[in-house]
Amino acid sequence: MRGVELRGRVEVVGETPRTGTPVEDLIEPERLFADKYMGGQPFRYDGRHGWLRLTPDHIISWDFARLQRRR
C-alpha cells in the first residue's frame, strides 16, 4: 500500500462549476485531461465540476511494500 498526503493552500481556477468560459491557465490541463480520459475528444463541460490549484506546504508519502517482504 502506498500513499501521499499534500497539505497547503488551495485556490479555485476558473468558474465553479466549470461551464467552459475561456481561462488561459486551464487550456493545457483540460487538453491533457481530455487526451487521457476522453480518448482525445474535446474536453466536455458538465456544469458540475471545477478546477483547484494546490500550492503544497507539506508533502508526506509512504510505501508499505517493504513490510510484506519481511514476513
* Confidence check: pLDDT of 71 > 60: no
Over residues 21-57, the pLDDT tens digits come to: 999 999 999 999 999 999 989 999 999 999 999 999 9
pLDDT classification of 65: cutoffs 50, 70, 90? confident
62, 9 Cβ separation under 8 angstroms: no
CA distances from 56 to 22, 37, 53, 61 (A): 26, 25, 10, 13
Rounding to the nearest 10 degrees, give the CA dihedral for residues 16, 20, 22, 24.
70
> How many other CB atoms sit within 10 Å of the CB of residue 26?
18
* Confidence check: pLDDT of 15 > 70: yes
Over residues 54-63, the pLDDT tens digits come to: 999 999 999 9
Residue 1: its pLDDT value, please?
84
Beta bridge partners of 52: 12
